[in-house]
Structure formats: structure tokens, C-alpha cells
Structure 1
């Protein structure tokens, strides 16, 4: 049964006017700012994004600057946000905008959808917030709020459910404040109709309209099919030091953390003796080995369970790359980087944050 969402409009807009958080991209909703913030906000909390957004905009104030920056510098700016293909798609789009759109985002929903990394949600957000076009922006927050209001037990992981909600909202979008309407639902979902824990129904402007609240089903809505369990991979990480420089190497161009630098390591959980044996097999002798403890990092479909060691090699290895002996087998050669270079040049994913903190001068 179709729910009439039009009755929510005034309550949402009035609530948003009084409760909207002050955010840098809201204070100045230029199309470029809205685009960058929306891509950053995918998979990342608002509070965490604010500092990254301000740093990014300071370094790359417009689309032309984004198109022209080297990929290595771009990924360093993105370091810590994760899902690095988001940054690569930003640059792909910036180059298209520079060559085909005069360096500006198009004020057209369907044109936006044609650009790399921009799906229906992001196109709707840019269209409504930056250009005041009556297009919905349906993300997880919006799905949760509206499914609870409607009392719907439809599975929100199904594309047809999202598409239906987009169509329902498009029909009732307020023509004078579409951006505020979209942001009001997002804001309500982020701060009141929350995904984890009990929703704050007593603070919700839609409580009197909400079927989930009336029927005491807010803890059962929205419905999502169970995710497949993550694959668990054990890894041993080496923090290898020579002459106040540390070994990094670049991951392959495809797959997990594609093209990023990482601390060297190997699959499996090695003992101290196992580490020495492994490195000796690569042609290197360990001068000193210190266990650094265990760490865990969760990706969307994989979990790394890591154990790490600080390693100092014997002096004779100083002129050799840690993987030089194995380069004939297509293993990448190491880059030897100082703490300052790691801080300012090389992008190390947050998966290695626990071990990065053992490098002098590196804060995580």
C-alpha cells in the first residue's frame, strides 16, 4: 500500500530549520562543495568528515585543481577516509567536467548520473541542495526514516524498494525547498531516528505520523537481509627500519587497497622465529625483532587479523630493497621512506594505523 509522505513536509522543514547542524558544506552549498562532501560522507561519519573536507577544499579549491593534481597527492589527501576508489572517481569526473562542461557540475539530474562515481543518491543531493531541483536523495538514513513512518516491512536492500521510495518522494518534493527537505530527512535519520540503539522517538517531529512508533515496531524496521559473513584473513605485518627509514611497498593496481602503499607483510600469523625464517628466505638477516602486538581491521567483505613486528635488518642489507631479491618473481620493490615522507607524501591506509604509531613523529 502506498504511503502519503506529503503530510511529513511541513513538520520536517520546521524541525530542520531549528535543528540543522552547522556544517561547512551547508554554510556555502556550492555545487563543488556539495559533491565533495556527499562523496566523503559515504561510509564515513559527519563529524569525521568535517576536518577532511576543510583540508581537501583548502588544497583543491575547485574542479580544475582536482583534475590536475597527481593521483599520489590526491590519495594522500584522502588518507584515512578509506574506499579510495571514491577519490579516483572524483578525479575522473573532474577531468570530464574540465574537458566537457567548462569546469562546472551540470545542473541536471540525468547529466549528473552519467558521471563516474555519481549514483541516484549523490545526483539527487547535488541537484536539490546546490541547484534547488526537486529530486530525491535516498540513502540509508532516508530509507530508515521513511520505512518507519510508513510502517513498512519491505526489504530496503532490494533495488525496487529504493526506486519506489524515490518515485514517491519525487511526487511530493516541495518545489521551493527541495534541498532542505532532503537534508531534513537525512538529519533526522542521523540524529534522532538512529540506526543503532533505540531511536529517540520523543524528539521526533514525525512521531505522531509514524506507524512504527504507533505499532511498537521501530526496533524491527527497517528490514534488511542478512549480509554474508566476512572472510577472515590472518596477516603478519613488518615495520622494517634501516637508517631511520621504513620500508613501504605499493599494492597491485587491482583489488583491495589497489595502488596504495602499505607496510610489508605476508599472509598467516608468524611467530618471531617464523618472521626471521621468512625474511632470511628473501635474502635478509634480522638484527633486532620486537613484537608490536595484534590488530584488526574490518573492510566491507574482509577482516584482517594482524600481528606485527618492528624489525631492524643487519647493516649489509642497507643498500638493498627488502624485496629486491624476489623482484624476478614480480614482487614489488620497497620504497624507503623517512617519517616525514610517510607523513606528507605516501598514503598509508587506516588498516595500518596501529603499526604506524610506532614510527616516530607519526600520529594516527
Structure 2
């Protein structure tokens, strides 16, 4: 006779994909019920630890763990590549932003340097500690990038989660204010980008996943190229860029290069996953691009307005092209 505890375990196990339940459900139920007294099973429930372990297993099995069916393997590959690309962009952006900021502050005279240091020392101990954390913690995106590609997964996951923490502070400020500041949309979009990147890294680069590998190049060379591209795009327009300019510029070059490479070499086993990952990242960056510039669009000089609108249009076009290409690859392979 089925007990209430067994029914509850089976209900929780429904979080697992069907292919996994067919292979392992009976064995798992027997294991969970093994040392539970028959007389108490109608009064017992799965523990929080057991539920958490099943949830973690459900994530791993749906993101290409072991010998998963092809659709789960493709999904897992796409999420892993999304995390890889997103971490790369945010790592390069954090380094470039701080290098250019330090360069500007240290070469524009004592008054500019005093203004820079005042952000850390001129508002009290707690505010100063928060400003220091907001300045330094995003640099951990770089640690996450290199740790991931050296297969130090736990270090990469912890670094990404800590690097994303500073995005929560302006978000909490929105809840405490009686009015919505003009950059509230950008704050939400930037927070979502950071945390979707960190959580995708934690979920998809699990212990059963294959090691992270770049489609082309070495980790140091790719990172340096992104830094040079972002820095160059800012230096070229020092008085006319916003917080999303360099990030989106680097993505556009990366996505366009992938599309050209894909057109030249044809479809490959990982093409659908790469295209879907870049398309998903493009959608998030489009939200960042729009929310960063929309409140100030009427105040922008004509040339800069044309520039950001052109960048947004290119982002829409490339993201749509990536979605079409990846969709065709998935359909052609029957996924």
C-alpha cells in the first residue's frame, strides 16, 4: 500500500525530467523510505535537505548532465555558453571602466583626484566601505572568467555571485525611495543581467557538465581583445558614451564575428547552442541599452543620439539574426 510519505516523495520527484524519472525514480523512492518506520510514514514529510538535493538534481539533469537526451544537452550547452559570454563581457567591462576611471582621475590634476577619492572617504565609514566594495567587487568577474576556463568551478561560481552583489545595492535604494529615479529601469536591467549571468554559471557549470571551452582563442587573448575593444570605443568618444556603450559595442562585434564565422564554416554540433546563447545575451543587453539611454534621449546631442539609436538598431538586428540561425539549426537537427 502506498503511504502518504511515498506519495510526497513522488510528488517532489516530479521536478525531475521524465527520462530521469523513468530510470531512477523507483530506486530513489526505495532509498528515501529505507530507514523510515512504516508506522510513521503517514506523518512524515521529505526533509528540506532532501527537497534541495532533488531540486539541484533537477537542474543538473535538465542542463545536459551525463547521458541526457539531445534537447537537454543542447539546452545545457546554450546556458553554459550564455554564462561564459556574459561573464566575459562583464569582466572586461569592470576592468576597462576602472582603468579608464583611474587614468582620468590621475591625469587631470589634483582636483580631479580629490573628487575621485572623496567618493571613498568623504561620506562616513559605512558609506566609504560600501563605495570600496562597489568599486572592487565587480573585478571578481575577471576571477570568475579565468577560474571557469581553468575548470575551477567552485571558485568561478563564488566569484560570480560576489561580483554581482553590488548591483543589489542601488536596487534596494529604489525600494526605500518615495519616488522612482530616472535610472530605475537601468538599475533593474543591469541587476537582472548580472544575476542571470551568475546563476546561469552556477546552474549549468555543475559537477556533471563538461569543462568550459572557448569556441576560438585562448582565455587571456579573448579577454584582452574585449578590453581593448571596449576601451577603444570609449576613448574614441570620451565625452559622448554612457554606461552601456562599451558593453554593447563589444557584444555587437562578437555576435557579428560569430555570424560571419558560422556563414563561412557552416553548421556544427555546437552552432545552435552558441547562437541561442548569444541571442539570449543580446536580449538582455537590449534591455540594458534601452533603459540606459531612454530617460535622457531628448537631452542628447544630435550626433550622440544617432549613435546610440544606431547601436540599438544593430543590436535588434543581430539578436534577431542569431535567433533565426539558432532556430534553424535546432529544427534541422530535430531538437
Q: TM-score range by the shorter chain?
A: under 0.3
TM-score w.r.t. structure 2 length? 0.27
**Structure ranking higher on relative contact order (CA contacts 8 Å, 6+ apart):** 2
Higher helix share: 2
